[in-house]
Amino acid sequence: MTSFAFFKLPEEHRCTLFLQEEVMPENISSFNELNSKTGFVIAPFCISERTPLVLINPEQKYVYDSLSDVDEKIVKKLNNCALSNAANSPEENLNEDERAKYWKSFNIFHSKLLQGEFRKIVLARHSDVHTPPSDLFGLFKKACREYPRMYVSLFSTPMSGTWFIATPELLLEDNGGIWRTVALAGTMKLRGHEIISDILWNEKNMKEQRIVADYIHECIEKFSDNIQETGPITIKSADLVHLKSDFHFSLCKKHILGDLIAELHPTPAVCGMPKNKAEEFILCNEFCIRNYYSGFSGVVNHDTGTHLYVSLRCMQILKNLFRLYAGGGLMPESTESQEWQETEAKLETMIRIIDC
C-alpha cells in the first residue's frame, strides 16, 4: 500500500514529496529511537497501538520549485492513495451536540484548575464537515495560497490514515547545527483592521504563554548550555494572533534528537502542567480522541536538516467527511464561552480552505 508525505515549509514556494510504495513505513515504539532515524516522521499526541509513531523512509523523493510543476500523474496518485488510506467515518452519539459535549468537558477540566491540580491544561474538540473529500491536492494548493507563512503538509499511511495540516507552530528545526524552537501560546482573533502593534494581551494569555516558555527552556537546558531566548512578541496566523518566544541553542552531543523530542513533547502548548499528570487526565477525560492532532510531523536528520512542526490547524480525512480539530489552553481565569469562541476561530482556518 502506498504511503506519502507532501509538504511545504513556511515562506517557501518549493514543495517536497516523499513516496514509499514497496514496503510499509516503519512503526517506532518510542521518540528516543528517532536519535538514529532519517525520514518523515508522523507523531501522535500519545504513542499507542491505535496511534503509532510512523516513519516514512522514501523510496522516491521529488522536489518541485512550485505546485504548478507537479504533473497530473502524481496528483492522481496522491489523491487516490490519500482516499484509499482514509479511515471510515466513525459512528457518533447524535444525542449530544458539540457545544453540549464541550460545555460538559470544560467544567470537568476547569474544576481541576480551580482545585489547584493543574496550572494549565489544554481542552480539544473536533467538528465534522460533511463534504466527501475528493481533490486533496487542490486543498493543499488552497492552503499554500491562503497561508504562505505556515507549514503545510498532506500525509497518508495505512497506519495513520490521511491527515492535512496548515500549522504556525514549530517544534524543532536545525539550521547548520543551530537549533530553534518556539513557545507559542495565547490566542486572540483580530478585529477588522486592527494593527498587531496595538494588541494588548490580558493576564490570562500572558501567564499561559509564560508557562510554555519556562517549560521549553527547562527542557532544552538538559541538552544545551547555550540557549538564547527572545520575546515574547505578537505574531499573526491567518485571522488570529499569538504570543511567541523564540529559542536558539546548540546541542551538547550529536544523535540526541529523539531524546530531546521525548523531553519536549507534548509541551504545555498542547497538553498542560504538570505534564505527565495532564497528559493522563486528557487521555482519560477528553471527549475528543486526538489521534494525530497535537502531535507533530516533518523531516528528521535528512539532507535538508530537521524540520518538525506541531500538528495544529489540522484535519483528518475520513471516507465521507473532514474531521477538523482545535483546542485551547485553559487557566483558572478561563470562561467556557471565551474558550469555545477560540476553538471556533481556530476551526475557521481549516473551514476556509474547504469552502474557498
Tens digit of pLDDT for each residue in 204-253?
999 999 999 999 999 999 999 899 999 999 998 888 899 999 999 999 88
User: Contact 32/41 with Cβ under 8 angstroms?
Assistant: no
Q: Determine how many CB atoms are found less than 10 A away from the CB of residue 133.
A: 21
So what's the pLDDT on residue 89? 75
Q: What is the pLDDT of residue 163?
A: 98
CA dist., res. 294 & res. 269, Å (int)? 9
Q: Output the pLDDT for position 327.
A: 97
Question: Which of the residues in the chain have pLDDT under 70?
Answer: 91-96, 192-193, 356
Query: Residue 96's pLDDT is what?
Result: 64
C-alpha span between 164 and 170 (Å, rounded) = 16
Q: For the chain, which domains are there?
A: 3-89+96-354 (3.60.120.10)
Intra-chain end-to-end CA distance of the chain, in Å: 31
Kindly tell me the sign of the dihedral angle through the C-alpha atoms of 267, 163, 43, 37: negative
87 DSSP 8-state letter: B
Q: Which amino acid is at 47?
A: I
Task: Provide CB contacts within 8 A for 66, sequence distance 6+.
Answer: 13, 14, 15
258-310 pLDDT tens trace: 999 999 999 999 999 999 999 999 999 999 999 999 999 999 987 778 999 99
90-93: long-range contacts (C-beta < 8 A, 24 or more apart)?
90/318, 92/128
Residue 273: HSE in the Cβ half-sphere, 13 Å Cα cutoff: 19
Taking each helix axis from N to C terminus, what angle separates 203-221 and 257-264, rounded to the nearest 10 degrees?
150
Residue tagged 504563554 (cell numbers): 209
* C-alpha–C-alpha distance, residues 134 and 131, integer Å: 9
Amino acid at 27: N
Extract the runs of DSSP E, i.e. beta strands, from the chain: 3-8, 15-20, 26-28, 39-43, 53-56, 60-64, 120-129, 151-157, 161-167, 170-175, 178-189, 227-237, 240-249, 272-273, 296-302, 305-310, 314-317, 322-330
Beta strands 296-302; 15-20: pairing state:
unpaired
Question: What burial class does residue 5 get, using C-beta atoms within 10 Å of its C-beta: 0-12 exposed, 13-18 middle, 19+ buried?
Answer: buried
| DSSP 8-class letter at 33 | G
Predicted local confidence at residue 94, as pLDDT: 47
Beta bridge partners of 45: none
Going by their DSSP bridges, the two strands 170-175 and 305-310 should be labelled as antiparallel
Helix (H) or strand (E) holding 131: none
